[in-house]
């Protein structure tokens, strides 16, 4: 009988490398697309008269004073209120570990510095993330019968924020703080990088059905 020979085939590394390279290329294209969408959304100002202005929270300094991002967002919201775009401003943001007060309370402080009366300001003080800004703002919005929401934040933040608010059933109009308000150009680059990371986390946790609404 003729001898049977087994042909040994090695592991198809070349094929695997091609797949990996294609996946990496696709991921790079996704990143480029996200950068474009984040920057483009941040340049679109949809401001018009609304029922309420919602200010997205930002971190405080170690001594509890409002950080620069929160100051510029709150200051811009105060300007919109002064111009008559809404009668009420809703400040969002809870109390971070180690802080003596909430981001929303610090937002109110800035608004009052800018001449907005306390009677025109409401606080949402439970949230620890942009997603929770939307979750905990919704009951306040519904309880007051508001239908139009003017959402205020830095431009780089609004692409993700709009997705999260609309996902929670809150249609919003976007009004970004001017990019020139940021102190340095590298601050904007870091902020966009952080947004891309946050979008990756959002997709990852949603695909896995993880029950987190803030980064654990």
Q: 216: pLDDT confidence band, cut at 50, 70 and 90?
A: low
- What was the pLDDT predicted at 8? 53
- What was the pLDDT predicted at 17? 86
- What was the pLDDT predicted at 9? 63
- What was the pLDDT predicted at 186? 58
pLDDT tens digits, one per residue of 89-139? 999 999 999 899 999 999 999 999 999 999 999 999 999 999 999 999 999
The model's pTM is 0.88
- Whether residue 214 is predicted with pLDDT greater than 90 in this model: the reply is no
pLDDT tens digits, one per residue of 137-189? 999 999 999 999 999 999 999 999 999 999 999 999 999 998 776 666 558 88
Which domains does the chain possess?
A: 52-208 (3.40.50.620)
**Secondary structure, 3-state, the chain:** CCCCCCCCCCCCHHHHHHHHHHHHHHHHHHHHHHHHHHHHHCCCCCCCCCCEEEECCCCECCCCCECHHHHHHHHHHHHHHHCCCCCCEEEECCCCCCCCCCHHHHHHHHHHHCCCCHHHEEEECCCCCHHHHHHHHHHHHHHCCCCCEEEEEEHHHHHHHHHHHHHCCCCEEEEEECHHHCCCHHHHHHHHHHHHHHHHHHHHHHHHCCCCCCCC
- What was the pLDDT predicted at 211? 87
pLDDT tens digits, one per residue of 32-88? 999 999 999 999 999 999 999 999 999 999 889 999 999 999 999 999 999 999 999
């Amino acid at each position: 009988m003729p001898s049977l020979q087994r042909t040994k085939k090695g592991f198809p590394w070349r094929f695997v490398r091609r797949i990996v390279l294609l996946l990496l290329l696709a991921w790079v294209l996704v990143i480029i697309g996200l950068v474009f969408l984040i920057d483009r959304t941040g340049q679109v100002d949809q401001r018009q008269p609304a029922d309420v202005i919602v200010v997205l929270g930002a971190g405080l300094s170690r001594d509890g004073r409002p950080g620069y991002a929160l100051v510029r967002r709150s200051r811009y919201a105060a300007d919109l209120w002064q111009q008559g775009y809404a009668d009420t401003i809703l400040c969002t943001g809870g109390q971070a570990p180690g802080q003596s007060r909430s981001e929303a309370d610090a937002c109110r402080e800035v608004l009052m510095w800018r001449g907005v009366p306390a009677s025109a300001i409401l606080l949402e003080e439970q949230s620890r993330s942009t997603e929770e800004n939307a979750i905990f703002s919704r009951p306040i919005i519904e309880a007051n019968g508001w239908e139009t929401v003017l959402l205020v934040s830095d431009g780089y933040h609004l692409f993700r924020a709009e997705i999260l608010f609309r996902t929670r059933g809150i249609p919003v109009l976007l009004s970004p703080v001017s990019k020139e308000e940021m102190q340095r150009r590298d601050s904007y680059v870091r902020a966009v990088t952080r947004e891309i990371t946050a979008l990756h986390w959002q997709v990852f946790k949603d695909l896995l059905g993880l029950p987190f609404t803030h980064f654990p």
